[in-house]
């Protein structure tokens, strides 16, 4: 009797985990791999280049001394006064290319430990792409805080008309390079260097709308007048404002967050409050590792409301 009860409990636990998407991850990367993680660091393979970077979520012990990995090319070392720098151990190109399916991206170790791509977001690229392909046509997509354009390139590649908005000119330029590498349609991406809040406000006045909207706002920043901007304090108002440019025939509205305190349920509630009723999902985004202990690396959270059952008007 006890064994039967235990089996039922395990079945229900697995069932609810699948139903509510407590965590999701893509298994499709071949040019990217997390070899191991621990002690606040992650050891990654980007194509043929191996990097060791800080990751505050990796609080467990590593399976081996990550810094002694024989193929390691560079380590990002934090400074006690803030910031940090890359220390080269073995020579490697200043920038190189990795691919995910039919799309390609330039990778370059930059300040604040970044490389120019968040590979965990491939799960969301695939999810949005599936909705777009199911609907058909060339839907209009708005990508706010678009960074180097991982999502913009992925969606433009399958025919969407993407408006890519970021306040950093160099990031928008990198998006253009990624689109060219991926051979996206010439009219696939409209590039906008602007404050995202101001751009949305102007789009509302113009009466412009989009069939799909995604946003990846920073956890912390400064407003145009130097005021402090914290995601937890502003995300609800930002979503409420941006929802006004969602079309009457929508596909999706996606929020990404790397803010530790902003849980999936919080973002789910925000979407339910401010967006038209649809299929709402909220989940932790993770990446698999090659660690034989079965470790997954947490990489923030996402929440999406989708409208896949809405009939296309053929536009």
pLDDT digit of tens for each residue in the chain (315 aa)?
Answer: 555 554 454 444 444 444 444 779 988 999 999 999 999 999 999 999 999 999 999 999 999 999 999 999 999 998 887 789 999 999 999 999 999 999 999 999 998 899 999 999 999 999 999 999 999 999 999 999 999 999 999 999 999 999 999 999 999 999 999 999 999 999 999 999 999 999 999 999 999 999 999 999 988 876 656 667 788 889 999 999 999 999 999 999 999 999 877 899 999 999 999 999 999 999 999 999 999 999 999 999 999 999 976 444 443
**What DSSP state is assigned to residue 109?**
-
CB environment 273-298: b (16+ within 10 A), e (fewer)? ebbeebebbbbbbbbbbebeeebebb
Residue in the structure block whose two tokens are 């064994």: 3
Q: Which of 112, 216, 113, 123 is nearest to 164 (CA)?
A: 216
Does pTM top 0.75 for this prediction? yes
CB-based contacts of 52, cutoff 8 Å, min separation 6 = 41, 42, 43, 44, 66, 67, 69, 72, 74, 75, 76
Helix (H) or strand (E) holding 9: helix 2-20
Quick one: tokens of 178? 């990624």
Asked whether the beta carbons of 76 and 51 are under 8 A apart, the reply is yes
Query: What residue ranges define each of the domains in the chain, with the CATH number in brackets?
Result: 32-113 (2.60.40.1180), 120-306 (3.40.50.150)
Q: Quick one: pLDDT at residue 2?
A: 52
Rounded distance, CA 79 to CA 188, Å?
41
Q: Which of 217, 181, 5, 41 is nearest to 108 (CA)?
A: 181
Helices (H), 63-168: 122-135, 150-157
């Amino acid at each position: 009797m006890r064994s039967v009860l235990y089996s039922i409990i395990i079945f229900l636990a697995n069932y609810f985990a699948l139903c509510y998407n407590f965590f999701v991850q893509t298994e499709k990367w071949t040019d990217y791999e997390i070899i191991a993680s621990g002690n606040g660091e992650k050891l990654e393979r980007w194509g043929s280049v191996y990097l060791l970077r800080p990751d505050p979520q990796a609080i467990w012990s590593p399976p081996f001394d990550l810094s002694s990995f024989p193929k390691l090319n560079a380590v990002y070392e934090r400074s006690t006064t803030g910031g940090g720098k890359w220390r080269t151990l073995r020579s490697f190109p200043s920038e190189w290319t990795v691919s995910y399916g039919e799309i390609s991206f330039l990778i370059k170790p930059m300040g604040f430990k970044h490389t120019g791509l968040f590979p965990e977001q491939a799960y969301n690229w695939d999810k949005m792409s599936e909705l777009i392909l199911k609907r058909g046509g060339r839907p209009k997509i708005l990508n706010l805080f678009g960074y180097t354009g991982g999502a913009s390139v992925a969606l433009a590649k399958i025919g969407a008309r993407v408006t890519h908005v970021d306040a950093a000119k160099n990031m928008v330029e990198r998006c253009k390079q990624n689109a060219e590498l991926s051979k996206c349609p010439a009219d696939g991406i409209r590039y906008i260097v602007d404050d995202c809040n101001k751009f949305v406000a102007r789009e509302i006045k113009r009466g412009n709308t989009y069939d799909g909207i995604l946003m990846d706002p920073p956890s912390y920043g400064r407003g145009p007048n130097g005021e402090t901007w914290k995601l937890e304090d502003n995300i609800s108002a930002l979503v409420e404002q941006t929802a006004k440019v969602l079309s009457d025939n929508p596909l999706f509205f996606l929020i990404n967050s790397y803010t530790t305190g902003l849980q999936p349920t919080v973002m789910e509630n925000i979407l339910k409050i401010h967006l038209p009723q649809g299929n709402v999902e909220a989940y932790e985004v993770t990446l698999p590792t090659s660690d034989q202990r079965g470790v997954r690396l947490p990489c923030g959270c996402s929440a999406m409301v989708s409208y896949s059952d809405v009939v296309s008007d053929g536009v």
